Structure 1
Amino acid sequence: MSFLDLLAPWAVARIVVRDLGVEDPVTHVAAHLRKRFSEKPSDGSSHRFRVEGDALADLRAVGVVVGRAPARSHYARVGFDLLLRRRDDGDVALEARERVVLGWWEREAVGEVLQGRLEEIREDLVSSS
């Protein structure tokens, strides 16, 4: 574990997208995500996108420093990296991750928000197929 991982750990959420009814689900999902988010360089086994967030989300999060408990609403529009991979069973796996600068206290709250955002993306994918 690096010093950066201790100072700013990753908040992570994962979701699986099944039964899109298309021949190549990864290509279909990647094309759909390219319309909404900016694609970033990635290794050959996955696609990586950046979901831009609201700059005020970070400012609201600073309340943790003054002793307020992290709340999901503080991070409602936080930006994150979105990874798209093909699973061994052929389904599509989406992973959202973002470094949490204030560390371990807010990691769980950010993870809950990322999970909700992934569910929104999955619903949009399923309804557009």
Structure 2
Amino acid sequence: MDADIRLAEPPLAPGACCDTAPCTCQPVPQDRLAEIRARAQAATKGPWEVEDDRESLTRWVVSETGFLSANLGYVGNANQDDAKFIAAARDDIPWLLAEIDRLRKENADLEVGLGLSETA
């Protein structure tokens, strides 16, 4: 039995399809991904972790090597979630970039398999 294949609508101008920031209905442009990838590659190697210095009452995001030491301020303020986010970004961002690459390759392979494109 043949599958009912429908082609996607032509892409809209960025921001024309939704009012989320950033726009989530368009693919991330390659140059934007390249910028993100370059920042990730230039950042201090991980892992990064959160440390609370009870003596000085400050919260830090630090690297194992000691090359990163970012002060997030007073331990009592509401920055624990921010600190966890920043510390996790060292591993999360490269993982997400790899997942985007994998999904784009999978999509290109599917397009070839469906005859919608000649090369992956």
> Which TM-score tier does this pair reach, normalised by the shorter chain?
under 0.3
TM-score normalised according to structure 2 size: 0.25
- Choose between structure 1 and 2: higher strand proportion: 1
Higher relative contact order (CA 8 A, sep 6+): 1
TM-score normalised according to structure 1 size: 0.24
Q: Which structure would you say has the larger Rg? A: 2
- Choose between structure 1 and 2: higher helix proportion: 1
